[in-house]
A and B are shown apart, each in its own frame.
Chain A
Amino acid sequence: MADDSLILGHRLSEWCGHGPILEEDIALTNISLDLIGQATNLFQYAGKIEGKGRDEDQLAFLRYEKEYKNSLLVEQPNGDFGMTIMRQFLFDAYRLPLFEALTKSSDAQIAAIAEKSLKETKYHYRHSAEWVIRLGDGTEESHQRIQKSLDLLWRYSSDLFTSDDIQTEAEQNGISPSIEEIKGLWSKNVYSVLEQATLVIPDNKWEQNGGRAGKHSEHLGYLLAELQYMQRAYPNMEW
């Protein structure tokens, strides 16, 4: 979860100064800030549980590529504004029910982080869903563009829900909700918004998975090269 937030927050931060209009530049940055904040909280907690003295920065900046477990969706490049919005929407529609469920997690710290993040995510979801509808049902050009983004990103959406032994264990002891249930909620929201946006789910049912297992697309390496640059070039320093 922390990796998802970090990588998507990083991607959105690339927009800062380049948004389609000032107001939207500010909105994207707000979402980016929320995600980086979530990543910080989650990494802090992960480091504490791990108990090897790694802090949030060591976890965020000093792992190898295959140790990042973010979904393939969030590492995809920004593309045009439509691509960014579609990526965000598919992600927010997953994060919203997930955080909602995690507020009832058996782990008090996770429940607390979820509580705070849920408020933010509600806003992110509304923002991205409204934009998907606007672009889908806007002009001919915007419809074509965002439909193309959906066609390209759709195959990465299932990666959000890939399960593994850790996920299963977390579900069994009530830390995490059932990921299948979250997927059901995700589908419901996504189908309804895409319909309002007059967009069509792609015929191609191929699912491209691997992120949760550390098997990434080529894009992540470049992202990490930038993200990690200072920590790698100037090791063991305070900033």
Chain B
Amino acid sequence: MEKAQDILELERRFQEKIDNDIRIEPNDWMPDAYRKTLIRQISQHAHSEIVGMLPEGNWITRAPNLRRKAVLLAKVQDEAGHGLYLYSACETLGADREETIDDLHSGKAKYSSIFNYPTLSWADMGAIGWLVDGAAIMNQVPLCRCSYGPYARAMVRVCKEESFHQRQGFEIISKLAQGSPEQKEMAQDALNRFWWPSLMMFGPSDDDSPNSAQSMKWKIKRNSNDELRQLFVDVTVPQAEMIGLKIPDNDLKWNEATQHYEFGEIDWTEFWEVVKGNGPCNYERVETRRKAKENGEWVRAAAVAYAEKKKNKELAVEA
């Protein structure tokens, strides 16, 4: 039995390992809250990859040429792969993948709210790659040094494969921005719709993010939401200028003293409404995933039944 003082000692040693940048591995002792926080964060991350396939998947059959079609398909496929790596990391904590997925389908688990916005034009494929993947990479790069080994390793793999995603997005949008007036308008419209939701991807401001301090102490999180958001704005604004698109924020201006951009107030009411389920596509996204699983039920059952028959046949031959 674990006694109270033993637990305190285990916790002390655990934190010491973290402070010394020693990775935590699946079978190591860890506080229950650490495990739960990780399961929540990794599964949300995995769900985001999987739900994130849908807004882009929406344009695969309408991609404008063969190259774009293949690249988009490969990209959305990567997202399935990344979801799988992450579910796999989550399973090392004892969270069964299919049960984790059922939590998504029942509405119990959350995913990145950006994917509840619709993709209305081809330019949205550019905006998603450029802005959404750009923001995701900023969140993800620090996670490669996360204290939990399997999560950190999954993120190394994800970041390696993801580098082309943002570049392909930027390529799409800059091509449009330099194209015909219709194309330019399409690009600007996509930026107008995706800019603010992209800023929301970094989560509530630090004052409203109660779990952040503990996550930073555990080195599950390395930077605060506001820090990463600022970094994103600083990097992205010049890119927009470079391709001649206008960021839809009248309060945006460069501050020479801080060497950062100042930007307008995020509509947090909209953010919380979308998180709560009131975004334009929340219902469709989850329903689509739920249906995919439901429609696949007979397929998965058949594979299990066949595997059992085969195993029994092999056993019969051996006997």
A-side residues, CB < 8 A to B, are 10, 13-14, 16-26, 29-30, 32-33, 36-37, 39-40, 43, 56-57, 60-61, 80-82, 133-135, 137-139, 141-142, 145, 226-227, 229-231, 234, 237-239
Known: A18-B288, A20-B292, A20-B299. A39 touches B76 (CB 8 A): no
Contacts of B295 in A (CB 8 A): 18, 20, 80-81
B84 touches A23 (CB 8 A): yes
- State in angstroms the CA–CA spacing of A19 and B180 once bound together: 37
Contacts of A17 in B (CB 8 A): 53-54, 57, 76, 80, 288, 292
Query: Chain B nearest CB: distance from A41 CB in Å?
Result: 10
B60 touches A16 (CB 8 A): yes
B302 interface residue, CB < 8 Å from A? yes
Query: Knowing that A20-B300, A33-B74 are A-B contacts, what are 5 other residue pairs whose CB atoms are under 8 Å apart, sorted by A's residue number?
Result: A10-B61, A20-B299, A22-B50, A22-B84, A61-B65
A139 touches B298 (CB 8 A): yes
Output the residue of B67, B298, B305 with the most chain A CB within 10 A. B298
- State in angstroms the CA–CA spacing of A32 and B293 once bound together: 21
B303 touches A29 (CB 8 A): no
B182 interface residue, CB < 8 Å from A? yes
Contacts of B297 in A (CB 8 A): 20
Known: A13-B69, A226-B61. A141 touches B80 (CB 8 A): no
Interface residues of B: mostly helix, strand, loop or mixed? helix
A133 touches B299 (CB 8 A): no
Contacts of B63 in A (CB 8 A): 230
- State in angstroms the CA–CA spacing of A195 and B70 once bound together: 36
- The 8 A CB mask of B289-319 against A (1 = contact, 0 = none) is 0011101111111110110010000000000
- The 8 A CB mask of B48-60 against A (1 = contact, 0 = none) is 0010011001001
Ordered by A's residue number, 24 sampled pairs between the chains whose C-beta atoms are within 8 Å are A10-B61, A13-B61, A16-B80, A17-B53, A17-B54, A17-B288, A20-B292, A20-B297, A22-B83, A29-B76, A30-B77, A40-B70, A134-B303, A135-B306, A138-B301, A138-B302, A138-B303, A139-B298, A141-B302, A142-B298, A230-B64, A237-B179, A239-B65, A239-B122
Contacts of B172 in A (CB 8 A): 239
Output the residue of B69, B80, B172, B180 with the most chain A CB within 10 A. B69
- State in angstroms the CA–CA spacing of A228 and B64 once bound together: 7
A26 touches B305 (CB 8 A): no
Give which listed residue, B74, B76, B122, B296, contacts A20 with CB less than 8 A. B296
Query: Chain B nearest CB: distance from A151 CB in Å?
Result: 18
Contacts of A20 in B (CB 8 A): 292-293, 295-297, 299-300
B302 touches A22 (CB 8 A): no
B260 interface residue, CB < 8 Å from A? no
B306 touches A137 (CB 8 A): yes
B68 interface residue, CB < 8 Å from A? yes
Known: A29-B76, A33-B74. A81 touches B66 (CB 8 A): no
- State in angstroms the CA–CA spacing of A142 and B300 once bound together: 10
- Chain B, residue nearest A11 (CB): B61
- State in angstroms the CA–CA spacing of A39 and B62 once bound together: 16
Contacts of A238 in B (CB 8 A): 175, 179
List B residues 17-71 near A (Cβ within 8 Å): 50, 53-54, 57, 60-70
B183 interface residue, CB < 8 Å from A? yes
Contacts of A230 in B (CB 8 A): 62-64, 122
B183 touches A40 (CB 8 A): no
- State in angstroms the CA–CA spacing of A135 and B305 once bound together: 9
- Chain A, residue nearest B176 (CB): A239
A40 touches B66 (CB 8 A): yes
A37 touches B83 (CB 8 A): no
- State in angstroms the CA–CA spacing of A239 and B301 once bound together: 43
Query: Chain B nearest CB: distance from A29 CB in Å?
Result: 4
- Chain B, residue nearest A61 (CB): B65
Contacts of A234 in B (CB 8 A): 64, 180, 182-183
- State in angstroms the CA–CA spacing of A234 and B183 once bound together: 9
- Chain B, residue nearest A23 (CB): B84
- Chain B, residue nearest A14 (CB): B61
B302 touches A239 (CB 8 A): no
B299 touches A135 (CB 8 A): yes
A19 touches B292 (CB 8 A): yes
Contacts of A56 in B (CB 8 A): 66
A16 touches B76 (CB 8 A): yes
- Chain B, residue nearest A56 (CB): B66
Q: A-B pairs with the 4 shortest C-beta distances?
A: A20-B296, A138-B302, A142-B302, A230-B64
A16 touches B57 (CB 8 A): yes
- State in angstroms the CA–CA spacing of A170 and B83 once bound together: 47
